[in-house]
Amino acid sequence: MLRGHLQSAFPTLPDVDDIVQESYFRLIQAKKTGTIRYAKAFLFATARNIALDLIRHRRVVSIQAVMEIDGLSVMGEDTGVVEAVSRQQELAFLADAIRALPERCRQIVTLRKLYGVSQKDIAAQLGISENTVEVQVAKGMRRVAATLVRRGVTR
């Protein structure tokens, strides 16, 4: 039952069996240290949290790779050095502005704007309403825009 739930709720996760095993392990550990009134609810909540942690970790690792722009060469044959440095600095400012967002807001903005995940899919993955996703994207984008204006990147 748990495996099926995870596969339908998180179809992109490759190792559902590992999550199931880790969830049962945590259930057993929790039972040893105290009483659990609703083992099934605890098990499903634990599995969901493990899956979300894995998704967040994959996203953060991917974002970190994208955010480390210093190692990328942005100069082409037609691009002047000044323009390339300016573009690289603007991208660094953008990365900083995104990193400065609160964790949940950053996660939602990143999924929506950088990865193009739909609001509906984000809401389903994170267990929140589509309205919350929409509000968080709007707040995040306003904060990013304000940060870029303060840094003189845009007006």
How far CA 89 is from CA of 67, 70, 86, 100, in Å, comes to 12, 9, 5, 16
Contact call for residues 137 and 112 (beta carbons, < 8 A): yes
- The length of the chain in residues reads 155
- Name the pLDDT band for 68 (thresholds 50, 70, 90): low
pTM beyond 0.85: the answer is no
For residue 69, what pLDDT is reported?
46
CA distance 141 to 135: 10
Cα angle: 62, vertex 15, 40; to 5 degrees: 115
CA-based Rg of the chain, rounded to a whole angstrom?
20
pLDDT digits (tens, 9 = 90+) for 77-132: 555 666 766 777 777 888 888 889 999 999 999 888 888 888 999 999 999 999 99
List of domains in the chain: 1-67 (no CATH), 82-155 (1.10.10.10)
